[in-house]
Amino acid sequence: MKTLPGVDVVIVGGGWTGLLMAKELGTRTKHSVVVLERGGPRDNAYYAATMDELDYLVRNRMMQDCSQETVTFRHSDGKTALPLRQLGSFLPGTGVGGAGEHWGAGSPRHSPDCFELYSKTVEKYGVKRLPEDHCIQDWGITYDELEPYYTRAEKMIGVAGKAGNIRGKKVDGGNVFEGWRSEEYPLPPTKIPYYATLFREAVTSLGYHPFPYPSATLTEFYKNPDGVGRPACTYCGYCHAGCMIGAKAQPTNVLMPVIEKQKGVSIRTGARVRRIVHEGNKSARGVTYLDTTGEEIFQPAELVFLGSWTFSNTRLLLLSGIGQAYDASTGKGTLGRNLTHELTLPAARVFLDKPLNRFMGTGSAAISIDDLSGDHIDHSNLPFLRGGLLRANCQGYQPILNFGPVPPSVKARWGSEWKKAAVHFYDRSAPIVFIGEHFAYKGNYMDLDPTYKDDRGDPLLRLTLDWRENERKMTEFMIPKAVEIARAMGAKEFTPFPGLKHYDATRYQGTQVHGGTILGISPETSVVNPYLQHWQVSNLFVLGGSVFPQKPVAGPTLTILAQTIRTADAVIDRYLKKPGALA
């Protein structure tokens, strides 16, 4: 093994969190920073040739290479987990920018009570209403504490939206259910394509409160506080293959222009990190990785950040023997617990009379309702807690992934009858999507698989995950609501979601998987403190969605960015002056 000269900071992962931390350290300190990214380099120019649905959206050219590394999956303890041999319900990214390159740019804040989920729920409904095997907990940070960081994150990426609550004053046209905001969104909301306007009219007639979904695609030219200018979106509809003009916020167009000017920051691509080197679970000494030639390299560092998405963050700690692995049978150990995944499903697919022109759009050109989210409805007499949003999104529909749905009156799935209906309805059909909260349960967790290994011989991460009655009952409640909206939209036919049974790792839901290295107020129940600092190894920080103790409704990216900025402040203003525990 080759040992390189030491650096001040090593960051594992070159996605949103890793590159954001590199930018903050690079611009605000004189420390040497190395970012290690397993995938290849990527910049704006890369996207000139990506308007190809087959290679980029069907064959997943921007995603993790399963032939090298995947995860294994089972529904519950005592069963044998099998490898997910190809990508399915989530799409971990790879290469510079990570999953931040292919996201849809939905940028909501989490509602204030999400951060105190345990306390607020027990306060209102009593501890007996919580599901039997839940392990939900408070974050140890409140919305009010995070609000200034949300504002900074929104300005950095340029979120387009309409405020519904400015310092407690409700504003018509925005999301009246959202937490207070110190100011209006940096940019006005996206244009709203036809399908979402039909949804808006329908939900308005039903008494709901529609709002334009906040989106980090620019609606006009915008220069952020770092001086990075980006152009307005053209609604070409290829967001998920990466934005070629830089209108959709991606690490390559928001962070890289700043990082490239920092002499202290270097990014090494093709660097696959294997272990965090540490001394007796007390302090990290650096990391080892394989370079593109396969040579194993030790990169010593004073400070280590993990920013390698939920799976790799958790797996690297497990492989390195840092902290105590969670044991589901005893409830002991914290590393790997609280695995959650956003509950996303087509609550009803509508079939309409008129063409929608739905090839036009952008990742989050959507109208949503938040009326059924969180605790906005009273759950005293409902068989579930919490809820989620319903939304009509005009993301720019591509034909391979979206050709085929036919109304329930057509039974054929191939041949002339199917073709006729599928061609007719290709541009006259779309889903009303439900996105719900996912509680954490004692039986849903991550550990190392006893059988399956990656191409380097290291054990794969094993997911043990299934839905519980709370998610099933919540879904049952939402489907008729979506059907009612479908009728109000004028749909003569619609396909309701058949109901939630077991977690299906082959049906794409979203790349929002959480837990494993959760934050909290005690080392007994969490891996990192509210500053995302490891409880035992104080020169190790863990960034990203892996710190969420459970899944709040809607996209996590803005919250992840806000938390990363907060950690950067704490590290730069406090830790670097006096290294040690921040909480």
Q: Which residues bind other proteins (CB under 8 A)?
A: 49, 51-54, 58-60, 65-67, 69-70, 73, 75, 80, 82-86, 88, 191-194, 197, 232-238, 354-355, 357, 359-361, 365, 399-400, 403-404, 413-416, 419-420, 423, 426-427, 451-453, 455, 502-506
> How many whole angstroms separate alpha carbon 274 and alpha carbon 198?
50
Closer to other proteins by CB, 3 or 357: give it: 357
H-type alpha helices, 39-142:
117-125
Nearer to other proteins, 66 or 290 (CB): 66
Nearer to other proteins, 245 or 576 (CB): 245
Tell the smallest beta-carbon distance from residue 404 to other proteins (Å). 6
Instruction: Rank residues 299 and 509 by Cβ distance to other proteins and give the closer one.
Output: 509
The minimum distance between CB 202 and other proteins, in angstroms, equals: 14
Nearer CB in complex with other proteins: 84/448: 84
C-alpha distance across the termini of the chain, in Å? 36
Closest separation in Å from C-beta 582 to other proteins: 39
CB nearer to other proteins: pick between 58 and 377: 58
C-beta closer to other proteins: residue 76 or 182: 76
Distance, CA of 9 to CA of 23 (rounded, Å)? 12
Q: Is 300 helix (H, G, I), strand (E, B) or coil?
A: strand
Residues 6+ apart with CB under 8 A from 266: 33, 34, 35
Quote the least distance from Cβ 67 to other proteins, whole Å.
6
In whole angstroms, what is the distance from residue 134 CA to residue 126 CA?
14
Closest approach of other proteins to the CB of residue 116, in Å: 33
CA angle 478–401–103, rounded 5-degree value: 70
Least separation in angstroms between CB 274 and other proteins: 18
SS3 540: strand
Burial code (b: 16+ CB inside 10 Å, e: under 16) for 271-286 equals bbbbbbbbeeeebbbb
What is the closest distance, in whole angstroms, from the C-beta atom of residue 199 to other proteins in the complex?
13
- Chain centroid to Cα 305, Å, comes to 19
How buried is 550 (Cβ within 10 angstroms: 0-12 exposed, 13-18 middle, 19+ buried)?
buried
The CA distance from 387 to 375, in Å, is: 7
Please answer whether residues 62 and 95 qualify as being in contact, where contact means their C-beta atoms are separated by less than 8 angstroms. Answer: yes
| Residue closer to other proteins, measured from CB, 31 or 428 | 428
Q: In this complex, which beta carbon is closest to other proteins, that of residue 49 or of residue 581?
A: 49
Count of residues in the chain? 583
Of residues 4 and 401, the one with the C-beta less far from other proteins: 401
Task: List alpha helices for 115-192, DSSP H.
Answer: 117-125, 143-157
**The amino acid at 231:** P
Question: Please, which residue, 293 or 416, has the CB nearer to other proteins?
Answer: 416
- Return d(Cα 376, Cα 396) in angstroms, integer: 31
Decide whether 130 or 241 has the Cβ nearer to other proteins: 241
Sequence letter at residue 582 = L
Task: Choose between 33 and 241: whose C-beta lies nearer to other proteins.
Answer: 241
Shortest Å, Cβ 416 to other proteins: 5
Least distance to other proteins, CB of residue 234, Å: 4
Tell me the sheet residues that pair with 74: 464
State the Cα–Cα distance between residues 459 and 454, nearest whole angstrom: 6
For residues 325 and 337, is the Cβ–Cβ distance under 8 A? Answer: no
394 alpha carbon, distance to own chain's centre = 19
CB of 487 to other proteins, least distance (A): 18
Contact of 178 with 214, CB cutoff 8 Å: no
Closest CA to 15 of 196, 179, 255, 234: 255
Q: Report, in Å, the least distance between residue 183 CB and other proteins.
A: 26
At its nearest, how many Å lie between other proteins and the CB of residue 557? 23
The least distance separating other proteins from the CB of residue 461, rounded to whole angstroms, comes to 13
DSSP 410-471: ---SSSHHHHHHHHHHTTTEEEEEEEE-B--BTT-EEEEEEEEE-TTSPEEEEEE----HHH
Q: Is 554 left (phi over 0), alpha (psi -120 to 50) or beta?
A: left
